[in-house]
Structure 1
């Protein structure tokens, strides 16, 4: 990553338009031709030019246009003495893809990640909890609550009974192809034997 970044910085003076021209990616009016999400870090201070009694400096016009689907801009802040005074973050987004509440939730989660890393530099990003208590309850205890009680009959028992009762009936249909219960059962058994052959046993977790 370091070598790749340094190589990119070594060519930072190449105009973006020239880069697009050379790479010549497939054009689309629906998205940026090279990437859709950008993180930008601005560390340079805003300069001002003093001409006698006249001070010339750049100002923020307030006009914002989203050039990408989503952009996060981080800007260093300085106080009057020139000392670092934190950072400001701004999200710019395409309103036909995101609404304000969605981007606000992204900002909140990003803030949680930053707070966790600042508190403990050894924190692994994958271990940072980005859900609040309400979201965790909704997602983990609500939407993902798959516990069911079916009078002592398991899903597998019910499926086996259906295979025995109607082996020729259609069990699954997708994109113009169909499998009968007998065909589906045969595929399930083949897949089960394969899992056993690679060491999967009782209580093993398998993503399907």
Structure 2
């Protein structure tokens, strides 16, 4: 496995279908250079290094869609077990794994989110996962939707954001600008 750093251009308010085309083109170009080890890329680019964040990206998206390895040993039953270290290498890691039926046909995708507990609380990480789910629901139901028009927040979340942005409500007496200025001058000289 080799990590590829990929960026997506969302300028111009594209549709999701257009975003997929951009991602495909960018990724195909990147895959043409996938033989370059990630560590070599970091050495060549020489980004500013700090222990507080990864040098090239903070969010990773992983798709596990390869066939599961099967080991057939006479008289031995072998099953794979996921291993969780309890340590997140990146700020956020969204992992997706294809699910299959008995015949091996893809039946869906399972997802999980690993996150840095130094940066995110469980409720915040869950909220990010919920928003990603809303995004995926929106783009799969209408691939021609403009990505900037997809509603990421629930109605209560939108209300909280609007209320927080309004600030403190202050009462003032209606007045003209010259009258308010004169009143301030009187207060300041007293």
Q: TM-score surpassing 0.5?
A: yes
**CA gap 1:102/1:164 in 2 versus in 1, 3 angstroms:** closer
TM-score for the superposition, normalised by structure 2: 0.73
C-alpha distance in 2 between matches for 1:128 and 1:158: 46
Specify the alignment match of 1:61 in structure 2: 83
Contact 1:47 1:57 in 2 (8 A): no
Larger Rg: 1
Q: Structure 1 stretch 62-71 or stretch 85-94: which is displaced more?
A: 62-71
Counterpart residue number, 2:44: 22
Flag the 1:135–1:56 CA change in 2: closer, same or farther, 3 A: same
Tell me which protein shows more strand as a share of its residues: 1
Q: Which moved further from structure 2: 26-35 or 144-153?
A: 144-153
- CA RMSD between the two structures: 2.9
Q: 2:101 aligns with which of 53, 71, 79?
A: 79
Structure 2 regions of 5+ residues with no counterpart?
A: 1-21
Equivalent residue for 1:143?
A: 164
Structure 1 residue aligned with 2:119: 97
Paired residue secondary structure (2:181): helix
Distance 1:159 1:97 in 2: 50
Out of 181, 186, 190, which is 1:161 matched to?
Answer: 181
Give the CA deviation at 1:84.
0.9
Unaligned runs of 5+ in 1: 167-208
Question: Which residue number in structure 1 is paired with residue 67 of structure 2?
Answer: 45
Verify the 8 A CA contact 1:41 1:74 in the aligned structure 2: yes
Per the TM alignment, residue 151 of structure 1 is displaced from its structure 2 partner at its CA by 2.6
Per-residue CA shift, 1:129-171, capped at 9, x if unaligned?
A: 122222222222x2244676633236xx2797169949xxxxx
SS in 1 for 2:72: strand
